[in-house]
Chain A
Amino acid sequence: MDTAVKAENLWKKFRIPHERRTTILENLAGLLQLLGGKTYTYEEFWALKSVSFHLGRGESLGVIGENGSGKSTLLKIIANILRPDKGSVTVHGRTAPILELGVGFHPDLTVKENILVYGSIMGLRNSEVKKRMDSILQFSGLERFRDAKLKNLSSGMQMRLGFSVAVEADPDIFLIDEALAVGDMEFQQKCIERFRQFKSEKKTIILVSHALNLVKEFCEKTLYLSKGEPVSLGETGAVIDEYVKRTQTPMMGGSTG
Chain B
Amino acid sequence: MFEHGELVRNLTVKEFKLRYRNSALGFLWSLLNPLAMMVILTVVFSTLLRAGIEKFPVFLLTALLTWRFFSISTSMALWSIIGNSPLVTKVYFSRWLLVLSSNLANLIGSTLEFIALFPLLIFLGMKLSFSTILLPAILAVEFLLITGVSLPLAALNVYYRDISQIWDLALQAGFFLCPIIYDVKLIPEPYLFPYSLNPMTRIIQSVRKILYYNTLPTLTDFAVPLVGGLLLILAGYAVFHRLEPRFAEEL
Contacts and interface: CB of A to CB of B under 8 A. Distances in A.
B14 A117 contact: yes
Query: Which of B6, B9, B11, B93 lies at the interface centre, i.e. has the most chain A CB atoms within 10 A of its CB?
Result: B6
Given A25-B162, A106-B14, A109-B18, A121 B248 contact: no
B193 interface: no
A25 B166 CA distance: 12
Contacts of A116: 10
A27 B11 CA distance: 34
B217 to A, nearest CB: 38
Contacts of B92: 79-81, 97
Interface string B1-33: 000001101110010011001100000000000
Contact of A125 (B6, B14, B88): B6
A214 to B, nearest CB: 22
A108 interface: yes
Given A82-B249, A116-B10, A109 B17 contact: yes
Interface residues of A, number: 30
Interface string A48-69: 0000000000000000000000
A116 B86 CA distance: 16
A106 B86 contact: yes
B86 A104 contact: yes
Contacts of A79: 91-92
Contacts of B7: 120-121
Contacts, number: 69
Given A22-B160, A23-B160, A24-B162, A99 B90 contact: yes
A197 to B, nearest CB: 23
Interface string A93-134: 000010100111110110001001110111001100000000
A99 B90 CA distance: 7
Q: In the complex, which range does the number of interface residues on chain B fall in?
A: 20 to 34
Given A81-B248, A113-B14, A104 B89 contact: yes
Interface in B79-106: 84, 86-93
A103 B90 contact: yes
Contact of B161 (A22, A76, A117, A118): A22
Nearest to B7: A120
B91 A14 contact: no
A79 B248 CA distance: 12
B87 A104 contact: yes
Given A24-B160, A24-B162, A104-B90, A76 B248 contact: yes
26 contacts: A14-B249, A23-B161, A27-B160, A76-B248, A79-B91, A79-B92, A80-B92, A81-B89, A81-B92, A83-B245, A97-B92, A102-B86, A104-B90, A106-B14, A106-B84, A106-B86, A108-B18, A109-B14, A117-B11, A118-B91, A120-B6, A120-B7, A120-B10, A121-B87, A125-B6, A126-B6
Interface of A: 14, 22-25, 27, 76, 79-83, 97, 99, 102-106, 108-109, 113, 116-118, 120-122, 125-126
